[in-house]
Chain A
Amino acid sequence: MTIDRQTVAKVAHLARIKVAEDRLDSLAMELDEIVAWVEQLGEVDTDGVRPMASATDMVAAWRDDVITDGGYADRVVANAPDPQGDFYTVPKVVE
């Protein structure tokens, strides 16, 4: 087994996903199976093939450096739980 319960707990914490203690073992097993399945890709000979950042053989389109957006703070915070004026608010974050 390559993925153990500690790894699951750590990844869940990094992703801010709450996982109950009694789910860790079963999740570890499931994830292990998924990773093992993906690892079949290792059987393909990729010598001399450059690592891909995208599945399509395309490069990025660029936008011109012109202002075409913004100016609607009300829309930006429209769905925020507790906006103050045009600010979002979050529970106090102290460094």
Chain B
Amino acid sequence: MSNLIKGKTGEWEVVIGMEIHAQVTSNAKLFSGAPTTFGAEPNSQVSLVDAAMPGMLPVVNAEAVRQAVRTGLALNSKVNKHSVFARKNYFYADLPQGYQISQYEEPIIGEGEIEIDLEDGTTRTVGIERLHLEQDAGKLIHDQLPEKTLVDLNRAGTPLMEIVSRPDIRSAEEASAYVAKMRSILRYIGSCDGNMQEGSMRADINVSVRKPGGPLGTRAEVKNVNSLRFIRQAVEVEARRQIKLIESGSEIVQETRLFDPNKGETRSMRSKEDAHDYRYFPDPDLLPIEFDDAFIADCKATLPELPDAKKHRFMETYGLSAYDAGVLVAERETAEFFETAAKACGDAKLASNWVTVELFARLKEAGQTLADSKVGAEGLGGLLALIKDGSISGKIAKDVLDEMFETGKGASEIVEAKGLKQISDTGALEGVVDKLIADNPGQVEAYRGGKTGLIGWFVGQVMKETKGQANPAMVNQLLKAKLDG
């Protein structure tokens, strides 16, 4: 598949680098003991450290360090046993210190790489440049008072991991796949909840365009895009804007832009000319972060099987396609659900289909997630086992699943109570078939005269007569024998 975009002067290549801000899962803030929970009363989760009162000193949260190291390991990246916090200086109403405590020259995590999964089943490697720890800023509310902006510092000081990719991404699809994979990894290891709606994971996208193989173009940064769909759209519209601009003889300005999903456009944020002159320097309030190999080994020991490893295992052990395996491993809970159901019924492909097609469709319709589902993995496995042993047909099983989904009852219970058990008794079916043939000489003659398509009509009649409980394979076999014989 070609990723090139056609312009008036020929084809263009899009070059994308990403900065992902991921809120570290922690009880307390990066440098204070105030809580990090979302949606609390204004300024109720603020310590005097977060409010930057004079004389307050920051002390780093061990959990933030631990989660950054675990994340670095999961991203196949170099872990730096010595790292330094630096001040990034700028003035804004959501930043009480007048500087953000971040990491600059010596981040906690260095270079690495991850694999991203594309829609056609292929994978690509995207380089990671660094991961560093930093503080989030407070929240500004503009629409409450006509002349004033309200400031809530609850979010100020919340620990963030900024994960910077190399400019290895080449299309809107890859950009979205990169964020999806990153989210999946972070959620697997539990270092971030990956909730893009609540803003605990957000992406800044650096986009530039160039003629294939040519020198890199000037980039624009599209800020704070908060869904996979918007990431795709933002890349598309920004790339097209730049191509149009260059082809009409203008130049790209290096700037920060905002994506407006309603209008489907990016627009320049009114940024001050000095916005990027941050005058970083090591924060004199904080000593370097140091740890030893044993600490790294302890972090590593807590990592679960990661999505890529799981995907390959599912393909090899269960014979699933790359696509199906990819869908199943995207969320750790789904993967575990699938494996339990597969073991319970002894048929992985059947379990894969029923999880990704039947169960997912019902969850989607009900607006639920797997965690809300009344059908557990063992329950679904039990249902599939009934299909496997011929007790019920796949069609009946769908009705049974509907009821399990509503009531949470077990498959066998429902099948028993409603008398849905499939008729696999040859004698009973034979009677029905014989009667059908005797009652419909016209159809039988037509069938024998060459209209063999009528077999479907006969099967339908038997199913009707048995209220759908006849074993379809057996009905087919019986009918063929009697009609052809």
| Chain B residues closer than 8 Å to A92, beta-carbon distance | 142, 146-149
Residues of A35-75 at the interface with B, using a CB-CB cut-off of 8 Å, are 53-54, 56, 58-73, 75
Provide the residues of chain A in CB contact with B47, threshold 8 Å: 69-70
Contact flag A73-B288 (CB < 8 Å), given A63-B61, A67-B33, A90-B93: no
Cα distance, A69 to B25, chains bound together (Å): 18
Q: Is the CB of B282 within 8 A of A66?
A: no
Sorting the interface of chain B by its residue count into under 10, 10 to 19, 20 to 34 or 35 or more gives 35 or more
Partner of B147, one of A53, A68, A85, A91: A91
**Total A-B contacts with CB atoms under 8 angstroms apart:** 138
Residue of B nearest to A58 (CB): B287
Q: Does A13 contact B (CB under 8 A)?
A: yes
Kindly list chain B residues whose C-beta atoms are within 8 Å of the C-beta of A86. Answer: 41-44
Is B145 close to A, CB under 8 A?
A: yes
Chain A residues with CB under 8 A of B282 = 53-54
Q: Separation in Å of the B21 CB from the closest CB of chain A?
A: 18
A54 surroundings in chain B (CB, below 8 A) = 282, 284, 287-288
Query: Are B35 and A73 in contact, with the CB atoms below 8 A?
Result: no
B414 within 8 A of A: no
CB distance from B299 to the nearest CB of A (A): 14
Asked whether A21 is an interface residue with its Cβ less than 8 Å from the other chain, the reply is no
A54 to B41, CA, bound (A): 38
Instruction: Tell me, in angstroms, the Cα distance from A82 to B285 when the chains sit together.
Output: 30
Is A22 on the interface with B (CB-CB < 8 A)?
A: no
Report the separation of the CA atoms of residues A86 and B46 in the bound assembly, to the nearest whole angstrom: 11
A75 to B34, CA, bound (A): 14
Task: Decide yes or no whether B171 CB sits under 8 A from chain A.
Answer: no
A contact patch SS: loop
Report whether A84 and B33 are in contact in the complex, using a CB–CB cutoff of 8 Å: no
Smallest beta-carbon distance B81→chain A, Å: 10
| Interface 9-residue window, one of B233-241, B269-277, B306-314, B324-332 | B269-277
A6–B262 CA distance with the chains assembled, in angstroms: 43
Instruction: Report the separation of the CA atoms of residues A66 and B47 in the bound assembly, to the nearest whole angstrom.
Output: 13
Q: A95 and B269 in contact (CB under 8 A), knowing A53-B282, A87-B150?
A: yes
Query: In angstroms, how far is the closest chain B Cβ from the Cβ of A26?
Result: 23
Q: Given A13-B274, A54-B288, A56-B287 in contact, is the A88-B150 Cβ separation under 8 Å?
A: yes
Contacts of A56 in B (CB 8 A): 287
Any A CB within 8 A of the CB of B140:
yes
Question: Are B35 and A64 in contact (CB-based, < 8 A)?
Answer: no
How many Å lie between the Cα of A77 and that of B43 in the bound state?
A: 8
Residue of B nearest to A51 (CB): B105
- B 229-269 to A, binary, CB cutoff 8 A, 1 in contact else 0: 00000000000000000000000000000100000000001
Chain A 1-29 interface mask (CB, 8 Å, partner B; 1/0): 00000000010011010000000000000
Contacts A62-B60, A95-B269 given; indicate if A73 touches B148 (C-beta within 8 A). no
**Residues in chain A near residue B161, CB distance under 8 A:** none
Contacts of B141 in A (CB 8 A): 87
Assembly CA distance A70 to B29 (angstroms): 10
- B118 within 8 A of partner (CB): no
Q: In whole Å, how far is B223's beta carbon from the nearest beta carbon of chain A? A: 10
A53 and B288: CB pair below 8 A?
Answer: yes
From residue A56, how far is it (CB to closest CB) to chain B in Å? 7
Cα A71 to Cα B45 with chains together (Å):
6
The answer on a CB contact under 8 Å between B46 and A60 is: no
Q: Report A69 CB to chain B, min CB distance, Å.
A: 4
Contact indicator B91/A16 (Cβ below 8 Å): yes
Tell yes or no: B26 within 8 A of A by CB: yes
CB of A53 within 8 A of CB of B287, answer yes
CB of B404 within 8 Å of the partner chain: no
Chain A residues, Cβ within 8 Å of B279:
14
Across the interface, do B28 and A53 meet the contact criterion of CB distance under 8 Å?
Answer: no
Residues of A within 8 A of B26 (CB): 65
- Contact check, A89 vs B149: say whether CB atoms are below 8 A apart: yes
Tell whether A84 pairs with B148 under 8 Å between CB atoms, given A69-B47, A76-B48: yes
**Across the interface, do B43 and A73 meet the contact criterion of CB distance under 8 Å?**
yes
A93 within 8 A of B: yes
Interface check B289, CB cutoff 8 A: yes
For the complex formed, measure the closest distance between the CB of B35 and the CB atoms of chain A, giving whole angstroms. Answer: 5
Tell me the bound Cα distance from A88 to B153 in angstroms: 9
Q: Does A94 contact B (CB under 8 A)?
A: yes
A1 to chain B, nearest CB (A): 21
Interface-centre pick from A53, A67, A72, A89 (highest chain B CB count, 10 A):
A53
CA distance A14 to B149 in the complex (A): 22
Question: In the complex, which of the residues B144, B153, B274 contacts A14, with contact meaning CB atoms closer than 8 Å?
Answer: B274
Contact A64 B62 (CB under 8 A): yes
**B27 contacts partner chain A, Cβ-Cβ < 8 Å:** yes
Name the A residues within 8 Å of B151 (CB-CB): 87-90
**Contact residues in A for B28 (Cβ distance below 8 Å):** 63, 65-69
> Which of A16, A67, A77 has the largest number of chain B CB atoms within 10 A?
A67
Can you list 9 A-B pairs, Cβ within 8 angstroms, ordered by A? Answer: A16-B91, A65-B28, A65-B61, A69-B49, A70-B33, A73-B41, A88-B43, A92-B142, A94-B142
Given pairs A60-B289, A63-B60, 10 additional interface contacts (CB within 8 A): A54-B282, A54-B288, A59-B288, A61-B59, A62-B60, A63-B61, A69-B49, A73-B43, A87-B141, A88-B150
User: Which A-B residue pairs are the 5 nearest by beta carbons?
Assistant: A68-B33, A70-B34, A65-B63, A69-B33, A69-B47
